Every structure is written in C-alpha cells, then in structure tokens.
Amino acid sequence: MQVNIELPEDVSQALQRSWGDVPKHALATLAAEGYRSGALTESQIRRMLGLKTRIEVHAFLKDAGVHLTYAEDDLAEDLETHRRLGILPRR
C-alpha cells in the first residue's frame, strides 16, 4: 500500500526542519504506534522499516519508547531454547 499525505507548505517545511526526512519519520512513527497498539508484530516492523534483525527492531522500539511485548509463553520458549543450546542446564 502506498499512502500519500498532503501538507500545507509551511507545515511541511516546519516538519522538515524539525525531523529532516519527513516520510521516514512518519513511517517510523506509524511502525512504533502499530506495535504499541498491538496491530503490528516485531516481524512486520522489521520488514516495514527494512531492518535485518530482531535486535535492530528491539533497538528501534527502545529508542521510540515502546515497551516490548514479552509474555510468559515467550519466556518459556526462550528458556527451552537456551537449554537446548546448552546455555542453561536441563532440568
């Protein structure tokens, strides 16, 4: 989907002075709010912003002041992965 936004020239100039690349900033803001509201996943954010790794997504979200969604199931999965890799001892 392509989204076009029409702004008055003075608004466009003010945003450009403040933000630099207005389209890039708008996309990042949309991504952050999408994740914050639960509409977007980490994977969708990664693809949307052209990031290569989950770590980059986490850094982006941290910089945007958005807390990661990390449920008990995520913790259990991570612990099992660490055990399988030998990072943690098996129970």
Task: Write out the chain's pLDDT in tens, 91 residues.
Answer: 888 999 999 999 999 999 999 999 999 999 999 999 999 999 999 999 999 998 999 999 999 999 998 888 888 888 888 999 989 888 7
Confidence (pLDDT) at 6? 94
Confidence (pLDDT) at 91? 73
Confidence (pLDDT) at 1? 87
Confidence (pLDDT) at 43? 92
Distance CA 38, CA 86 (A): 33
**Positive/negative CA dihedral, 40, 66, 73, 82:** positive
Q: How many CB atoms lie within 10 A of CB 46?
A: 17
Confidence (pLDDT) at 75? 86
Q: Any idea where the domains of the chain sit in the sequence? A: 9-84
Helix-then-strand count for the chain, H and E: 5, 0
Q: pTM to 2 decimals? A: 0.75
Confidence (pLDDT) at 77? 85
